[in-house]
Amino acid sequence: METTIAGQTIALNNEGYLTDLNQWSREVATHIAKEEGIDLTDEHWPVIEYLQEQHRNEIPLTIRKVGKSGIVNIKEFYALFPGGPLKKASRISGIPKPASCI
């Protein structure tokens, strides 16, 4: 499936996650976040960068691991990405849905 975001054709899987992190940009992230009902702030970007770094290093992600990252605690993570923080944050970050997400 493909969509156009910020004038760029983006490949998505059937759940709406990017299939190629190289197509990710802040504009793409902002667009996806709006679809998720989230207005990105300065507090969101360090979390997004952390998730991308973990993905590039092939480190499996969990909510607990994000909460212990030193970037945000679990309560803050839920506040930034309400209603499924790891799932939504991963989608906005341009990485695949973590295996720990249903």
Q: In the annotation, is 101 catalytic?
A: yes
How would residue 102 be classed by pLDDT, with cut points 50, 70 and 90? low
Q: Does residue 82 register a pLDDT over 90? A: yes
- Cβ neighbors of 55 (< 8 A, separation 6 or more) are 21, 61, 93, 95, 96
d(CA 73, CA 34) in angstroms, rounded, equals 23
Domain ranges in the chain are 2-93
The least confident of 21-25, 71-75, 94-98 is: 94-98
Give the mean model confidence (pLDDT) for residues 51-76.
94
Q: Annotate 8-40 with b (16+ C-beta within 10 A) or e (fewer).
A: eebebeeeebbeeeeebeeebbbbbbeebebeb
pLDDT exceeds 90 at position 99: no
Which residue in the list 7, 87, 101, 102 is annotated as catalytic? Answer: 101
Average pLDDT over all residues of the chain: 93
